[in-house]
Structure 1
Amino acid sequence: MVSTTSSSQNPDDLAWSEVGQLGLRYARIPLALLCVEAFYWFITMPSDTLGPIQVTEAWIWNEMTNFIFGEGASTLSTHNGWMTRIELNHVDFPGSFNHVALYVSDECAGVHEMIFLSTLVAMTEGVPQKLKIRSIIVMCSIIYVLNIMRLVVFYPIAVQECVAMPNQAECLIPMWEWHTAVYQWGFLVVLVGMWLVWFWKVGGPARTLDASTAPVEAWRMVFRRHWAKQHFGLILVAFVLVAGGAYNVTSSNEANEAKSTLDTCQFLDLVSSECTQAQKDWDNAIESAWSMAAIGLVAGAFGAVEFQRPDEHGQWPSNIKQDQDVIEEPKTPTSRHDTKRKGSWKSRNSEEE
């Protein structure tokens, strides 16, 4: 007896295994963001990790403030040995010196936002690699400009409020509220908005749909066999950073002085501001060493390792190269006249006949 009962399941429905695979496929983006956030937090534990970038932004901030609002509106000075301190000057600012002291920290440099947006773009499926790289360069440039504009806006906000309430500390509250709003959620809205606009302009929905239905691409990491100048440069950078981190702990005068003071404080069981500062300096030296070593290891990994994908025939690039390198040795044609004859001339004549 043949059963005529039809299945109630739609053939187009996804199986639970397929749903799980699809979820894992799209879970790569938040997982990648978490890994990038953790790495960024680790390398920026010491103060002024991004010192050169902080210095350039502080210089541009100072120059633009003086250019827009008049000479003397701001003054550039040092903070922890770096030219990252900005003093906003106005007669109505609170305090005996009528200025507001600020500085560009590593969190204010905008690098965090650049890494976040670059990860979103890099993890988007179906978009050509060259288009991703060009988009990341343009978006990071836009973020850099927006961050400078955010810093320049501090001065007019503070002046507007302090003119209404001269020499009152409360007049600086709107400036700090602006800073907090941008830091906590403002930049996040801008970054997600930039990615959504880019995603729509490059045809992201259709590309992602095609990529989701396509089979999962295989890839592997192998030790680099063909080296170029940039790869040797990355290895050199890795050695320099690791050596610099080791020097920062073992041979730096500031670190040695902090360690000596800290040992004295611990031996004599002292509690003072000098001991507290020595502890901070020593911790900062260790964190800087770990930060430089981590960046060096990442640079060395990019220089020594390459990512490979199989071609349309399913062959890996290294295997293709090996096949091309294998050249068969040409065989020299032989003739019976070239062989060394053995035996008597009578037997050879009978064999030839």
Structure 2
Amino acid sequence: MAATTTARPDGDMSWKEVGELGLRYGRIPMALLLVEAFYWFLTLPSDTLAPVQVTEAWIWNELTNFIYGEGSAVISQHNGWMTRIDLLHVDFPGPYDSVGLYVSDECAGVHEMIFLSTLVMMTDGVPQRDKLKAVAVMCGIVYVLNILRLVVFYPIAVESCASTPDLQACLTPMWAWHEAVYTWGFLVVLVSMWLVWFLRFGGPARTLAATKDDPSPWRFERRRAWNVRHKALLGAALLLFVLAFSNIFTNQEAIDARDTLAFCEFASQLSSECGDAQLRWDDAIGYAWSLSALGLTLGLGTFVVVVRPLDDGTWPSQVNNNDSAQMDDVEEKSGARQSAKRSRRQSEEEE
């Protein structure tokens, strides 16, 4: 009995093509891991993103008072920044009928913006200008969604505390909402936004076509041409490292905190002063790591460049090497000709 073969449906991918696509997109999780590490080092100290936090706290306060009535929220300082919001209602627990919250660096939405921007910029087969437009639009959407997430705290707390007033347990639904959004809610939204955008621009078919047309679209190389601007950036990176170390070894507040911690450990003392010293020392260490991460990123970004192949498929470094080899050949031939001329001249003089 003759064997029959079935034609592959139009648009279906072979296992080889699936493997090529998987290898191409293996760079995305690696980039996300690097970005996560950078963000972790950047936000080690408290209130690293203070300007963004202050802006969002102000918008949160204004919208809450505008939507739910004047006096629904009050803004105040937290760690020296205007990022604390006290939600006010007669049914809220506590002697002041308030719920104290504040906008931390994790609540600012910058983490989500960086994650989404990395996904978009690492997607192949899409023009660079379209990627930048998508990043701008998506980051704006994330910013608005984050503000709405904060504004929703008040009605959730009021509704739950209306049935059980003056009990801490009535705030559980508000914290559950916060935990759900923080744990997986935003992740679902971000991936969904990227997936819709990805399919809008052709999806896997366009990426596979880009893989076939250009199996190696770019690679990293060390910078070969240096100008004053690049040297200035390296100097700035070095300055960031110096500031990072000086923040630990020359900052008087950090030194006092370290000495206080040493005394607390020696005396086995537990007090508010020891706790404050621990916070100050942790912040000093965090700022050092943050500045070091910025310096390392700036230095690598200056020393390493992303190159793309030329129209004929060769890489710029290969062209430069070939040019150098050709120049060496020319110099060798020129030197040989000059040596031959000198030899003939000497022979004629001897005759």
The one-character-per-residue Cα deviations of 1:121-152 (angstroms, maximum 9, x if unpaired) are 11211111121111111111110111011101
Q: Shift of the alpha carbon at 1:71? A: 2.1
Distance 1:221 1:313 in 2: 19
TM-score by length of 2: 0.79
Greater per-residue helix proportion: 2
Aligned-residue RMSD, C-alpha: 3.0
**Is the aligned partner of 1:42 residue 2:41?**
yes
Partner residue in 2 for 1:120: 119
Cα distance in structure 2, aligned partners of 1:226 and 1:133: 27
Q: Which runs of 5+ in 2 are unaligned?
A: 331-351
Distance in 1 of aligned mates of 2:82 and 2:304: 37
Counterpart CA distance in 2 for 1:283 and 1:129 is: 40
Distance 1:256 1:123, change over 3 A: same
Report the AA paired with residue 287 of structure 2: S
User: In structure 2, what is the Cα distance between the partners aligned to 1:59 and 1:224?
Assistant: 47
Structure 2 counterpart of 1:249, which letter? Answer: I
Is the contact made by 1:127 and 1:204 (CA closer than 8 Å) also made in structure 2? no
Contact persistence 2:220–2:304 (CA under 8 A): no
Which moved further from structure 2: 97-106 or 165-174? 165-174
* 1:135 aligns to 2:134 (yes or no): yes
Cα distance in 1 between the residues matched to 2:270 and 2:246: 29
Alignment of 1:244-323 (within 5 A): 244-317=243-316
Aligned AA (2:221): M
Q: 1:309 to 1:228 in 2, by over 3 A?
A: farther
Q: Which runs of 5+ in 1 are unaligned?
A: 1-5, 329-353
If asked which structure has higher relative contact order (CA below 8 Å, sep 6+), I would say 2
Aligned partners of 1:234 and 1:302 also within 8 Å: no
Q: State the partner residue of 1:66.
A: 65
User: 1:166 is matched with which residue?
Assistant: 165
- The DSSP-based 3-state class of the residue aligned with 2:86 is strand
DSSP-derived class of the 1:76 partner:
strand
CA distance in 2, matches of 1:13, 1:89: 61
Q: What do residues 148-185 of structure 1 show as CA deviations (whole Å, max 9, x unaligned)?
A: 11101111111222223222222211111111111111
Q: Distance in 1 between matches of 2:266 and 2:160?
A: 52
Are 2:44 and 2:289, in contact at CA under 8 Å, matched by a contact in 1?
Answer: no
Amino acid at match of 1:146: L
Specify the alignment match of 2:176 in structure 1: 177
Number of the residue aligned with 1:154: 153
Q: Secondary structure at the match of 2:90?
A: coil
Offset of residue 263 of structure 1: 2.3
Using the TM superposition, give the Cα deviation of residue 26 of structure 1 relative to its aligned residue in structure 2, in angstroms: 2.5
Structure 2 contact 21–208 (Cα < 8 Å) conserved: no
Amino acid at match of 2:222: V
Change (3 A) 1:235 1:68: farther
Query: Per-residue deviation at 1:320?
Result: 6.8
User: Following the alignment from structure 2 to structure 1, what is the Cα–Cα distance between the partners of residues 315 and 288?
Assistant: 39
Encode CA deviations 1:248-302: one digit per residue, 9 max, x unaligned.
2123332122012112223444343432432332122112211111022212332
Q: Which amino acid aligns with 1:219?
A: R
- CA 1:34–1:305 in structure 2 vs 1: closer, same or farther (change >3 Å)? closer
- Which residue matches 2:23? 24
* Closer/same/farther in 2, CA of residues 220 and 37 from structure 1, 3 Å limit: closer
Tell me which amino acid in the other structure corresponds to 1:179. H
SS of the residue aligned with 2:269? coil
Letter in 2 for 1:220: F
Counterparts of 1:130 and 1:115 in 2: how far apart (Å)?
Answer: 18
Give the Å deviation of 1:66: 1.7
2-structure distance, mates of 1:228, 1:203: 42
More deviation in 144-153 or 244-253? 244-253
